Chains A and B, each alone.
Chain A
Amino acid sequence: MADGAAAGNDALVDRPGMLGVLMLAPAVIYIAAFVGIPFVLAILLSFSSATTGNPSIHGFVGLDNFIQVVREPQFVTALVNSVIVTFGTLALLLVLATLESELLARAFRGKRLVQTLLILPWAMPASLAAISWLWLLDSQFSPLDWIFRQAGILGPGGLFGPARHFYYLGRTDLAIASVVVINVWRMLPLATLIVLAGRLSIPRDLFDQAAIDGAGFFRTLFRITVPALMPVLLVAVLFTGLLVFGDMAVVALTTHGGPGHSSQIIPYWAYLKGIESGDLSGGAAVALFMLPALLVVSVLTLRFAYRSQEA
């Protein structure tokens, strides 16, 4: 009996195409349940008058939610901030990931330790990271301020004096800059790993040849390394760009979009509106404003990933 059952299972698995279907099924079901259905719901919600008190999607209101959202003053602020944060993060990431991979591609004493330290932000729990950053950026007890005061940059007579604090999260420009810095800190390990993989696949002969041909560090970097890295830099940009643009955790844990709404970003505003304020349909509409950008970037990412696979 048992033998017969086992043979039956084997026959099922042996059938062409069956094994593939079986192995893909869990992933497909997972994505359909937790990504696909919520996505469809979000679209339906955005055209309805649903609230947390009355989460029915039957009240069809057309584009009213979108029109209303666009008219709110926070909309432009959040959109502009989202773009600034994403592009600011990417610009810094590109430079730092390239330099870091350049460092890690070389042999030096203590390399393993450096590697471990550089990967650490990726492994750190968000809550722990938030506590550290909130302390670093605290209005009264920031150790950064203390260092700046010791260096004579802050405090009476300092370059930015006589104030004794920067109030990082209390000023719009510094709040947005802080969000960018934290995003860079968080994404740098991923970006570096992507770029490093590309860096290590460049044949060593090219660097030896460049050295013999007389190229110094910068000429080698900009004329040999970066052109050869272009495909992976693009993948790194698209990949981390997606993650940063759609992320609300950094803002939620640090500035809360403040002061006021001045450091608001689209995903966090969608969350505040839809969940905290109970305006489900409005929140869905805000979130859907990210869809075109995310869609374009996702398609580009997949295309480049496939192209580099074929090459």
Chain B
Amino acid sequence: MTANDSSPHHLQLTRDGQLRHFLTLDGLDRALLTDILDTADSFIEVGERTIKKVPLLRGRTVVNLFFESSTRTRSTFELAAKRLSADVLNLDISTSATSKGESLSDTLLNLEAMASDMFVVRHSQSGAPHFIAESVTPGVAIINAGDGRHAHPTQAMLDMLTIRQHKGQFEGLKVAIVGDVLHSRVARSQIRALNELGAEEVRVIAPGTLLPKDVESLGCTVEYDMARGMKDLDVVIMLRLQKERMEGALLPSEREFYRLYGLSQQKLALAHPDCIVMHPGPINRGVEIESAVADGPQSVILNQVTNGIAIRMAVMSMAMGGQVAERQQKLSERGQA
């Protein structure tokens, strides 16, 4: 192990390379990402049964710790935990203890005292789940459900699962991410995942005001003109315009944005005929995407939601599995010493 044990890479993995936290896709190689997708495939089958439950996390307690509101992500994490037979506690911290002045560390100590086994964390500050993973009791797994502008790794992986279902593989694929890349933690995780899994080209299409500085360094090409950018695409991922995160005048108006970067049927016709349309939701109809496209035959937006449950089941059971395997290993080493 290298000197820097607090890097996300070492924090996330056990000594033998198993997942024990899931904070970011940085440092996770193609083999591990593929393991996550394969495991999620098996959980999709579970979701199609009459009894959509397996006993993997029976008796364990999962705390959904949401410092920022969310409906879809929180409810799919909740369903995922329940389908793994875990007990789930949903804490909407934005309306709870912290507003009474309790510090994050104190909130966590209290939750750990309730013998929690896993925290699913959403926070507006980049790095918050990483901070929690560093300070949490050994044996407790931390899953990042979106932190600031940094990462949203389960969303990116459910997108990868959706792409693999429809396209079979990543080699040779041209994928575009369109819209508000600047405020998007999803886009960063998606670019990372697509590159690691071997997509041929990852293209971002956006106005300069909605792109982070040096966006190319993330591993993508940049296109400011949407009509040019749509050419030859196999997958187009629309991002939500994050109005709540907009500071200052980054956009002339929503109507102007839709005219230039909204996905209409005409623009979609410029891509490959079998190009799939994705969106992490919630969608702003008529702002990023035309209703006829969102509800059309090329849209896989609702598949993404279904896949979200399977991916979260996979990540939760793998991280919990890594934690228990590690604890068992330490116990047996102590026994031999």
Partners in one complex: no
Q: Which residues of A contact B (CB under 8 A)?
A: none
Q: Which residues of B contact A (CB under 8 A)?
A: none
